[in-house]
Amino acid sequence: MKEENIAKMFDSSYSTEAKTANYSNFDQVGKHFIDKILSTNVNSVMDVGMGAGGLLLLLQNSGIEKIIGIEISQKGIELARKRFELFGDLTSATFIKGDFTKLNPPTAELICFNNVLHCHPDLKGMLDKAIALEPKYLIFNIPKKTRVIQTLFFVTSLFTRLANGFRPYVHSSDIIRELFDSSGYILQDKTNQGIWEIYFYKKKSSVPSVE
C-alpha cells in the first residue's frame, strides 16, 4: 500500500477536536508505556507513529523537555500541534511527517513505537532505523504470535483490505531477538498485555556493570 494512501486512511480517523491528554484515558498498553518511560528520567522522547500526539503531550506535561513526533498523517500532525498549543508547549515539540524508515530525524534518549509496528510491513527496517539513532532506551509492542491472534489479524486484514487496502501484520519475535542481540541493547523487561507483547530495551553502555 502506497504511503499517500496509508496517510489518507489515517487522516479520516482523526477528530477535529483538540483535547488534553489524561492518564486515565489511555488503555493498559498506553499506561504501561507511560510508566516505563517516566521511570527512566529521560529528557527527550521520540514517538514514532504518534497519531494525534496524546502520549507525547502527557509526557511533556509530566516533565519531559524535548518532544519529537513522527507521523504519516498530516491531519494527525495538525491536531497534535493544536493540542500542544492549547495544553502544552509547542516550542519544545518537533513534529515530522513521513514514513520513519525514509526520514532522517533528530535523535532522542528514548524512542517508542506504541501500537505502530504491526501497521508496517518492515519490522526490521523500523527497528534498524531506531537503533541507528542510538537512543538510550527503546520501547515497543507487537501482537503475540499465537494461532488465535494470527487468525484474528487475518480476519481483520480481510475486512480492512476490502475497505481501504490496509492490513495489519503479526511479526516474528525471532527478528527482534536476533536484531537486538547484535545491536548493543539489553532486554530490561518483556510484558504481556492482552494480545500484545511489550519490549523495553536499554543500551548496553547505559547499563551499570556488575562487579
Span 101-129, pLDDT tens digits: 999 999 999 999 999 998 888 899 999 99
128 occurs within a structural domain:
yes
The average pLDDT across 141-152 equals: 75
94 occurs within a structural domain:
yes
Write down the pLDDT at residue 167. Answer: 64
43 occurs within a structural domain:
yes
- What length does the chain have? 211
Q: pTM (2 decimals)? A: 0.85
Question: Which residue range forms the structural domain that includes residue 83?
Answer: 3-206
User: What's the CATH number where 134 sits?
Assistant: 3.40.50.150
Write down the pLDDT at residue 120. Answer: 85
DSSP 103-143: --PPP-SEEEESS-GGG-S-HHHHHHHHHHT--SEEEEEEE
211 occurs within a structural domain:
no
**176 vs 6: which has the higher pLDDT:** 176
Going by their DSSP bridges, the two strands 137-143 and 185-193 should be labelled as: unpaired
7 occurs within a structural domain:
yes
Number of independent structural domains in the chain: 1
57 occurs within a structural domain:
yes
